[in-house]
A and B are shown apart, each in its own frame.
Chain A
Amino acid sequence: GAVVSQHPSRVICKSGTSVKIECRSLDFQATTMFWYRQFPKQSLMLMATSNEGSKATYEQGVEKDKFLINHASLTLSTLTVTSAHPEDSSFYICSARGVRSDYGYTFGSGTRLTVV
């Protein structure tokens, strides 16, 4: 089945630094990548959608200069949280969709970001 590898699984960083999260589709081409954020006891909130080779489309209220998304290839998408602050501490999850509809939506394992 389709697999998305997400790294790191857990990261702690100091306030003001940047953190990069990677998602790789291992056995399919991810034409679209979705990035979600989940705060404790809340549901997944869509942050942005990126299509390979195009600029990401951000949801209302999500700062595109703070959450940089790159989807330069069909197998790799990255989310960089720039100048992280404690309020950015959250669970970040990517979801990939391939060309074939039967792959549906494949989720990465998530990244727990803690900003101290």
Chain B
Amino acid sequence: QKEVEQNSGPLSVPEGAIASLNCTYSDRGSQSFFWYRQYSGKSPELIMFIYSNGDKEDGRFTAQLNKASQYVSLLIRDSQPSDSATYLCASPGQAGTALIFGKGTTLSVSS
């Protein structure tokens, strides 16, 4: 059974700081990883996906993948109070199959 693990938090950072969210996965064969943001009572919204080792940047967000360590992270620069949400890490069980989600990390950005 493939698993995706996240620290549930809460992670608290001041406004303007860098928030670092981490995720580990059990299946060394996993190829793709997705980061979603979910506000309370809402559906998840995609922030980024990453397939290759290394970093991928999109605006204030940077995803980092280290397949050797089976580790995925999401960095949020210049954190804003509007970034306060639960961040979900996910990976398909197999290519094209359903996403397996971690339990999510709750981020709180204080102004």
A interface residues with partner B (beta carbon < 8 Å): 6, 32, 34, 42-44, 46, 49, 91, 93, 95, 97, 101, 104-105, 107-110, 112
Contact = CB atoms under 8 A, between A and B. Distances in A.
B42 A109 contact: yes
A110 B43 contact: yes
A74 to B, nearest CB: 16
Interface of B is mostly: loop
Given A32-B96, A95-B99, A97-B96, A108 B43 contact: yes
| Size class of the B contact interface (CB-based, 8 Å) | 10 to 19
Interface in B16-44: 34, 41-44
Instruction: Say whether chain A's binding surface is mostly helix, strand, loop, or mixed.
Output: strand
Interface of B: 34, 41-46, 49, 88, 96-104
26 contacts: A34-B99, A43-B88, A43-B101, A44-B101, A46-B98, A46-B99, A49-B98, A91-B41, A93-B43, A93-B44, A95-B99, A97-B96, A101-B96, A104-B49, A105-B34, A105-B46, A105-B99, A107-B43, A107-B45, A107-B46, A108-B43, A109-B42, A109-B43, A110-B42, A110-B43, A112-B41
